[in-house]
Structure 1
Amino acid sequence: MNLQSGTYYWPTTMAAAPRYPSLDHSISCDLLIVGGGSSGAQCAYYFAETGMDVVLIEKGGIGLGSTATNTSILQYMGEKLFTDLVHQFGDDYVTRHMQLCQEAIDDIETASQAVRFDTEFSRRNTLYYVSEEEDELRLKEECRWLLERGAPVEWVSADWIRDHYSFEKKGAIYTSNDGELNPFTFTHGLIDFASNKGVRVFEHTEMVGVHSDDDSPIITIKGGHTIRANQVIYAAGYEDMDIVKEKKARFVSTYTVTTTPVQSFTGWHERSLIWETARPYVYIRTTKDQRIIIGGLDEDTDIAEERDAKRIHKRDQLMHELRARFPEIEAEPAFDSAAFYGGSVDGLPMVGMYEEHPNSYFLMGYGDNGLVYSMMLAKLIRDHLVSSQSEDLHLYELERPLKKSRLYK
């Protein structure tokens, strides 16, 4: 899959990233993780201390796929409102989903403290503002729902926004305790951690085929060697779709600009994360070295040529959107990219289990909170495989339990 094009900021932040060998012989293991991006790294982190014989393979270099274009905004709120999800799944189901996302952000912070590289993790607040007048009532209802469940949010008025930002909006949800990080150093940090705990890591080791023998998955890699595993986790991001064509996954194209470093963040309260109710929306964050990342303006196409043809125009549009909100901040584009962005038809991430792929799990943390979703799903799969005590994994299976009764507190 042609995932992305353009220029990428995150790999420039780690000049001496660790390197790993390629696999040049056949092996066996308890667990094989396919994918060396953020999702695979999160799986490796969780399985590193289970006592299992774990192998991770990556067809290219660690962290150089979709991870290189991930803007790494860490939020538990998603583009599909919780109050909309309640209509599909029921209140208790959605409340538990929200709690699991909040826990995943905490787990990302814990993991960032455990690795030896600077992941640039930082807690940030979020301004989620009303773009059009007709969005105000729905966003206020969302705020009330969150407050009733103890979420750290408040409704802020047009006057409050005017006093704290250089732009005006009718109102917003102001969320505390979200976060941001550097996905490239985070991914390398997790894999380095896992490697030091005994996980065998192989770069430039491309899977070219799979079959099973008595329900044991056997992966063939380029060069003809094989990996026999008791269990496999496919954590290759959107390239999971090269193995299974999941009808509940959907793909669009998205665009990102990373600016030159700026002198100050005038008119930007607490350097908060910013996004909006408009569709397509834009989202904005800052970086440790004083840059601004702005992304969004998605296009409904999964054709790489169409996506890439719009890249320069989208770069200019995103810079216009940035200057409209922060006219006093002087910034120029330094990196820009176009990439596929995956989601699900119902707004929740997925763990795929298929009869034709026995003892295999497809981690599909698709959606606007991909890093958060993947952290959550990796942990749930770990609990399921190690102790069979994952009470929540069924929430993300392909056949969702709809409108459950009050099972979750």
Structure 2
Amino acid sequence: MDLVYGTPYWPSTYNSDVDYPSLHGEISCDCLIIGGGMGGALTSRLLAERGLDTVVIDKRKIAHGSSSANTGLLQYTNDKTLTSCINTFGEEKGVRFYELCRKAMQQLTEMAESLKTDAWFIPRNSFCFASSEEDVAMLEEEYQTLQKHGFDAELWYADQIKSHFPFEKPAALYTKGDAEVNPYRFVQGLFESTAQYGARIYEQTEMIHCVYDDEGVWCYTPHGKIRAKQVVYAAGYETQEIKKDKGAYLKATYAITTKPLPDLSRWHEQAMIWETARPYLYMRTTPDNRIIAGGLDEEIPEHDQRELRAKNQGDVLLEEVLSYFPTDTLEVDYAWGAVFGNTHDGLPLIGTHPDYPHSYFVEGYGGNGTVYSMIAASLIEDAINGIENDDMKLFSLTRTSKPSPT
């Protein structure tokens, strides 16, 4: 699967001096992680830190799949509002999901602070505006729901928005406790620290197939094989090539990074910006005053159209940004498209599957993929270490697409 096309920005920001080999021969381990992106990085770090003999493989170079296209907005709020989560899953489960996202944000902060590599992890607030007057009531209801359940949020109206930004909107939610990150540097730093805990990492090593028996799993690669007691599939959207999830679907999404700007003073606190419309436009900044913008989700184009589509959609995104932050000096520096996964009910897929013994899946599908991957890493760490955690049931791979409220 071609996960990324066009030219993503993040790989230009970091040249790792760490070289991981490909696997040749036969090895064994406690836990094998298939996937060298964000999900694999977070999970392997937790397991190796716990002292488990951990092996990671990826068919590409580390962090060169979806992690290189990830735009690095980390939020406890979700594409699916808390109000909507409560309406779908019931109050207890809906609120618990948001609590887990908030906890994951705290864990990601601690993880970034522990790394020698600077992941450009910067605490930020989030600004979600009403795309139209019709969406104001929805934001007002969501504000009340967040307040009721102890989540830090403010409700802004037109005058307050106009005083902080160079554009006008009827209302917005201003939430705190979020962050921006350079996902490419974050994943590289995580794996470098994981290796220091004793994990073995092999890149350009593809999983050909796995064979399961009573004692564990044999994983076969082009030039070797791995005997593991447990396997974690952290293959991201390519998991759909391993097993098809009825509750998941794949789309194309697009992003740009502009050239640096001399001044972003009219961008209040450099908050991360998004909107109520679907699909939504979102924008953030970088430490060197670039703007990253993304959105325009659509069906995945034909293979021979993807490079051109990434460029054309990048031009559209630039016009969108200019409509909010008018300037004569804004230019696209990088433009890319990527495969993006979501689920019909808005929750990620995490846990076991009856057809795959001794295995766990990390499928952080949705706009909050890094946060979901942190939740998954924590839950799988507990499970592999024999700690029962009821939160895993919320993300079951075999759940119906729309669970009934309880």
TM tier relative to shorter chain: over 0.9
Q: Deviations over 1:5-29 (max 9, x none)?
A: 0112111111234221111111111
1:64 matched to 2:64? The reply is yes
3-state DSSP of counterpart to 2:375: helix
Show the counterpart of 1:331: 330
State the 1:330 CA deviation: 2.7
State the 1:328 CA deviation: 3.4
| 1:252–1:301 Cα contact (<8 Å) kept | yes
CA gap 1:193/1:247 in 2 versus in 1, 3 angstroms: same
State the 1:404 CA deviation: 5.9
Show the counterpart of 2:252: 253
For 2:23 and 2:371, locate their aligned partners in 1 and report how far apart those are by CA, in whole Å. 30
Q: Deviations over 1:230-280 (max 9, x none)?
A: 100000111111211111111111000001111111421111000001122
For 1:390 and 1:90, locate their aligned partners in 2 and report how far apart those are by CA, in whole Å. 19
Show the counterpart of 1:166: 166
Show the counterpart of 2:30: 30
Show the counterpart of 1:342: 341
For 1:304 and 1:339, locate their aligned partners in 2 and report how far apart those are by CA, in whole Å. 12
For 1:175 and 1:307, locate their aligned partners in 2 and report how far apart those are by CA, in whole Å. 35
| 1:252–1:299 Cα contact (<8 Å) kept | yes
State the 1:304 CA deviation: 4.3
Show the counterpart of 1:100: 100
Amino acid at match of 2:188: H
Show the counterpart of 1:7: 7
Pairwise CA RMSD of aligned residues? 1.5
| 2:5–2:306 Cα contact (<8 Å) kept | no
Equivalences for 1:142-291 in 2 at 5 Å? Answer: 142-214=142-214, 216-223=216-223, 225-291=224-290
For 1:50 and 1:305, locate their aligned partners in 2 and report how far apart those are by CA, in whole Å. 46
| 1:165–1:269 Cα contact (<8 Å) kept | yes
Show the counterpart of 2:131: 131
State the 1:307 CA deviation: 4.7
| 1:302–1:340 Cα contact (<8 Å) kept | no
For 1:329 and 1:390, locate their aligned partners in 2 and report how far apart those are by CA, in whole Å. 54
For 1:314 and 1:100, locate their aligned partners in 2 and report how far apart those are by CA, in whole Å. 34
Show the counterpart of 1:122: 122
1:315 matched to 2:319? The reply is no
Q: Deviations over 1:288-340 (max 9, x none)?
A: 12211000011133754555442222111100000000013732111110111
Amino acid at match of 1:243: I
| 2:248–2:343 Cα contact (<8 Å) kept | yes
Scaled by the length of structure 1, what TM-score is found? 0.95
Show the counterpart of 1:394: 393
For 2:215 and 2:87, locate their aligned partners in 1 and report how far apart those are by CA, in whole Å. 39
| 2:129–2:274 Cα contact (<8 Å) kept | yes
Amino acid at match of 1:182: N
For 2:254 and 2:353, locate their aligned partners in 1 and report how far apart those are by CA, in whole Å. 32
Gaps of 5+ in 1: none
Show the counterpart of 1:21: 21
After the TM superposition, which of the residue ranges 387-396 and 252-261 deviates more from structure 2?
387-396
Amino acid at match of 2:356: H
Amino acid at match of 2:21: P
Q: Deviations over 1:149-193 (max 9, x none)?
A: 111101001000000000000000011121111111110111111
Amino acid at match of 1:82: L
Equivalences for 1:84-99 in 2 at 5 Å? Answer: 84-99=84-99
Show the counterpart of 1:81: 81
| 1:125–1:273 Cα contact (<8 Å) kept | yes
| 2:29–2:227 Cα contact (<8 Å) kept | yes
For 2:365 and 2:85, locate their aligned partners in 1 and report how far apart those are by CA, in whole Å. 16
3-state DSSP of counterpart to 2:283: strand
For 1:166 and 1:285, locate their aligned partners in 2 and report how far apart those are by CA, in whole Å. 15
For 2:235 and 2:351, locate their aligned partners in 1 and report how far apart those are by CA, in whole Å. 13
| 2:76–2:98 Cα contact (<8 Å) kept | yes
3-state DSSP of counterpart to 2:25: coil
3-state DSSP of counterpart to 1:387: coil
3-state DSSP of counterpart to 1:26: strand
For 1:94 and 1:310, locate their aligned partners in 2 and report how far apart those are by CA, in whole Å. 37
| 1:251–1:302 Cα contact (<8 Å) kept | no
3-state DSSP of counterpart to 2:208: strand
After the TM superposition, which of the residue ranges 381-390 and 335-344 deviates more from structure 2?
381-390
State the 1:403 CA deviation: 4.7
For 2:341 and 2:299, locate their aligned partners in 1 and report how far apart those are by CA, in whole Å. 11
For 1:13 and 1:301, locate their aligned partners in 2 and report how far apart those are by CA, in whole Å. 27
1:109 matched to 2:102? The reply is no
| 1:139–1:172 Cα contact (<8 Å) kept | yes
Amino acid at match of 2:57: I
